[in-house]
Chain A
């Protein structure tokens, strides 16, 4: 079956979730991935939105992080301070999803600025909750298109911590979260090696290692045996297209 690049990203992200995970969800592809997982292999997934909504069961596709459909039928709603303090800082979040303009060799993310901070060439939205999610969620996953400009050797600004300058540095910082455990791209999946450096461990069907290397800003290493991810199934695509994003707001384009 044919599928778009956002569909590929969403489906492979959904497969990383485990049943019972408590997930800090963002809008867009992470939201779709979580809802897909909930309707397939992870029916007991608990979705938490940084707007302060716990156990959301959105009846329609939320178009912003504070969409009212997240509230109606949710388990609980709390203040923004409580969601960050009691839920995230306290260590109650299993999984966080992250994205950003730049992701570097050690999984550090820039969502703040291109160029110099005080004289920005391009001013990006900034941290939002990503600084804390990257540090405190037990597992983090990054979803991003695989493009050279998005994968520099070093980010211009470290908005959120991956493995800093190597795994030992993150371990020395004693952060409760394990850091970015996978980067899902439209070419494959990158995972940190023993030094915290992102290496490619899986390719999607039809993608090649050369393609991945050509679109990465550092010398991309790979595992000796590259896994090939399973193609999106008809069922996964059906749920995404018919139930979750019937208008193709997030899933079309970029295909």
Chain B
């Protein structure tokens, strides 16, 4: 089935006000272009879940799209504080629900597996378990001690960026795979963004690399450079300079407003955004090649 559509159409169709959204990617493959499109379309009251909210949720919160965040590490990775989300929480204007990394991805794993909850061994650091009553303790029914459990996370919509996919949404991902697969399987709807749309034969040439099967995908969007300022392994580098720059931009509401106006409201789509970044950024983020050894599946 051909599910190819523009990102604007996909967001319009599959992201609704009030949705629980999981834009996946642990530092890698973060679908910034989709976050920007959600901002442009003015979604409201979203619940934004991610292990690491990263700049994408800082920007969505800054643009007034969210009422709540669910996270396990709220920082600007490698830089410091995530200023907007932090300030909104401190001011009491943004709800939050918090886990450890393992708690957060155990919730997704449960959601992706169709289970009601997931057990974890105890850590004895009880304060977060007390602060967030979604943590419960149950006795191991087979004897021994007890385990901590967290409920399944079942987002309304997952947005997952991948290196390549076919028109049906069968997707190859390599590099840091974070929680991409789990987010896709846990969610009711899946929007896939891809650096490249390829023939089904390319996917079939390396089936072990397919993390997401097309039949759970709703939309396939061809969005080169979707992940900037995050990165896509083998395609372009992480723009560390922008992560530092955001730390400055996000210090003032004027700075944030100017950024949103210029780089989100002021552009039509990712292609225009990428062009506006200019040749200096393009060349700085280029990567040289380092291919894997060829895998031979054998002809049977």
Query: Which residues of A pack against B, CB within 8 Å?
Result: 27, 50-53, 63-68, 70-73, 77-81, 84-85, 88-89, 108, 112, 117-123, 125-132, 134-136, 157-161, 164, 170, 173-176
Number of cross-chain contacts by CB at 8 Å = 167
CB distance from A52 to the nearest CB of B (A): 6
Could you list 18 A-B pairs, sorted by A, with CB under 8 Å? A51-B27, A51-B28, A52-B26, A53-B176, A71-B175, A71-B176, A79-B177, A81-B108, A89-B121, A112-B98, A119-B92, A120-B89, A123-B74, A127-B73, A129-B73, A158-B126, A164-B124, A175-B123
B98 to chain A: which residues have CB within 8 Å?
Answer: 112, 126-127
Contact B102 A89 (CB under 8 A): yes
B124 to chain A: which residues have CB within 8 Å?
Answer: 135, 161, 164, 170, 173, 175
B121 to chain A: which residues have CB within 8 Å?
Answer: 89, 135-136, 176
Contact B90 A72 (CB under 8 A): no
Give the nearest-CB partner of A179 in chain B. B124
A12 CA to B178 CA, complexed, in Å: 32
A78 to chain B: which residues have CB within 8 Å?
Answer: 177
Give the nearest-CB partner of B123 in chain A. A135
A108 to chain B: which residues have CB within 8 Å?
Answer: 125
B127 to chain A: which residues have CB within 8 Å?
Answer: 112, 117, 157-159
Of the stretches B188-196, B213-221, B235-243, B250-258, the one at the interface is B235-243
Interface residue SS majority, chain A: loop
Contact A67 B238 (CB under 8 A): yes
How many residues belonging to B are interface residues under a CB distance threshold of 8 Å? 56
Q: Does B23 contact A (CB under 8 A)?
A: no
- 4 smallest A-B Cβ distances: which pairs? A66-B27, A128-B73, A64-B78, A135-B123
Q: Knowing that A52-B178, A64-B243 are A-B contacts, what are 13 other residue pairs whose CB atoms are under 8 Å apart, sorted by A's residue number? A: A50-B101, A53-B176, A68-B233, A70-B176, A84-B101, A127-B72, A127-B98, A131-B128, A132-B101, A134-B123, A135-B121, A160-B125, A173-B124
A65 to chain B: which residues have CB within 8 Å?
Answer: 27, 77-78
Query: B126, B176, B240: which has the most chain A beta carbons within 10 Å?
Result: B176
CB distance from A158 to the nearest CB of B (A): 4
Contact A79 B178 (CB under 8 A): yes
A53 CA to B174 CA, complexed, in Å: 12
CB distance from A173 to the nearest CB of B (A): 4
Contact B233 A131 (CB under 8 A): no
Contact B182 A81 (CB under 8 A): yes
Contact A80 B178 (CB under 8 A): yes
A72 CA to B73 CA, complexed, in Å: 25
A213 CA to B21 CA, complexed, in Å: 49
